[in-house]
Structure 1
Amino acid sequence: MLVAQGKLFAGSGANYQIVKVKLHASGILCYTDASDDIVEYKHEELIISDKLGTIPREIILPNKTLLVMNSEPFLDSWLSAGKKDVSKWEKSAKAVIGSIVAIPVTLYFIFAVVIPQMAVVFAPYIPDVFVELSSRHTMTAMDKTVLNPSEADLEKITALESQWYSLLANMDLDSEKYNILFRHTKMMGPNAFALPNGTIVFTDQLLELVDYDEEILTAIFMHEIGHVENHHSMRLISQTLATSIAITYIFGDVSGFFDFFASVSNTIATNQFTQKLEWEADEFALEQLRATGAEPVSFARGMKKFAEYADSENSLIAEDLEKILSSHPLTKERIANALEFAGVSESAFADMEVEIQKNKDALKAQSETEFEQLKTDLPK
């Protein structure tokens, strides 16, 4: 029989009773409680913490009280009876080195592979109520902060809306699900973004950047539809939530949940999709442009406009735009991908851009001439 001293915590507080614990070779642990009653438990009834260096051993008794005893060789031997001794791994150099390598690799696999795949699977099953609520909250917040009513040409944006709703019907998509909006903004610059519920927003600055070019704007519209149809916002939010859960489980930090819910609106609004999601939306746009009889090269033209804007020395928010695009694939790569899909070489694309610009200049000159002629013909 072995005798040792321990601390008996009867409740959840810090108060404890010093008890003399007897450990019998037959596997019986006994001690005398505060009422001078002898309490006995079998070894298999105990929940025993693993040995970790010289840290005191914790034993949860069947009556839910906690017994804490200093780690001693004889005590460790008795407590470990019938159990595998994992403490020897602490002294193994191979085990330590293996853990140093295995833990980061495992964490990377969880956060880079498992969680994104889980997000793909579960995103479509997020309740519509949450999708609608998060989208409306985001739009309301943006309208109060960074967005203003559109100042764009009403006739032109009405024509775009009509064209795009017809396009949605031709694509066998629920046109009622989508809500096309136009907003003026100084902070976001030329931009378009999609909310999870199908709200797609174009800024006046984007319309001006592409000179209301219907083909380019339709290509960008297709790209945003790709985000909605592939549940990209919800996948990103699901991934954020799953990451918070994983961090909480692994590190025991519940603050991640509060950070997650506080950042949902910002996550959607900034449209910071990962490069993989951007490529998916690009591919969706290119395929749908071809399927609807439009030119996939229009997407390359739109990306070229963004690239020129970002490189412009006269752009006051070029740096901000670069930050917006930081999680996107490189614009040059996206242009090259669109040209390859369309079967157009870079030289042919350059010639096409020159020809389009010539036609626009000619139409503009013709309109100005007709306007001047009209003024001349007016009675004086």
Structure 2
Amino acid sequence: MTEGLTTGNLPDEYQQLIDSVADFARTVVAPVAAQHDEEHSFPYEVVAGMAEMGLFGLPFPEEFGGMDGDYFALCLALEELAKIDQSVAITLEAGVSLGAMPIFRFGNAEQKEEWLPQLTSGEALAAFGLTEPDAGSDAGGTRTRAELAGGDWVINGNKQFITNSGTTISKLVTVTAVTGVDARGKKEISTLLVPTSTPGFTAEPAYNKLGWNASDTHPLSFVDARVPEANLLGERGRGYANFLQILDEGRIAIAALSVGAAQGCVDESVRYAKEREAFGRPIGANQGIAFKIARMEARAHVARTAYYDAAALMLAGKPFKKQASIAKLVGSEAAMDNARDATQIHGGYGFMNDYLVARHYRDSKILEIGEGTTEVQLMLIARDLGL
């Protein structure tokens, strides 16, 4: 893969992936999305379908059970899924970029051999345990601790807002914890692999969320949870730095998901504007509606171009941190703005949860918060500019 990815001019293998995932989203995801949203139930049958298609293995080599694709392929799949159901899309995104990717990037041979085949096949899900009640963007607030005792890490603390951590197929949580003090007197933060079967680990009752109701999200607690010393992931003291690298990549994936949400709102609004009549003609014949939808399409296109650019740089091995932040910023804002406009276009129907645009309205807000808030993205962009 090289730089210069452009919309409407993708290689055949990418277009074939788009077509197959779009068909899956229409025929498998769409019929059950509203029910899972209303019931706050995890869509196991949809996840099984994604696993059968190989979506959880898209960016991983065949030697680990993957599809030997790349990160851009994952992004394309996320965009198509998010047009229909953001909960399904975030389940895939978190399972791949936050669950399996840290092991692929930083794990040793034994850790990869043990965990990656389960995760790339979709047989199991892994979660990414970074955020705490007092520590999100601020790593210095990390309070979860891990101490070596008798050849084990003994973990105590809490995590919150952790996706894919409490399903029946959730098998692993990668956790950041304070493991000591570095030479500068600051907290030494390392990363540990904690199987969900570990005594002392508990996925607390699921959150009652505003949106993403069919995705699995829990607070986690660790009370003298013991894992072998060999469960250290990567170099001791590099846990937070490694997670920041994972988040840089993940922001491209969230940007792609956001573009899917933004485009889904365009597609629904175009359909509705052609069908809904008022005063003897379709409402799309009115410039007030047509121009609003045109702006929505422009937002989605610009945001898509931004994540394509960031993905191309990443795959070319070039610096992409700023471009990932830009993509995440404009993508999440496009999703939220388009959801608001789509709801307005649909009028009273847009306020009904049976309509896709209502779900997008509720779901899209978290895109401006998760995996780095809008304010964090602005800070990173400004820092890159030397400000």
- Rg larger in 1 or in 2? 1
Say yes or no: TM over 0.5.
no
Length-normalised TM-score, structure 1: 0.22
Q: Which has the higher contact order (CA 8 A, sep 6+)?
A: 2
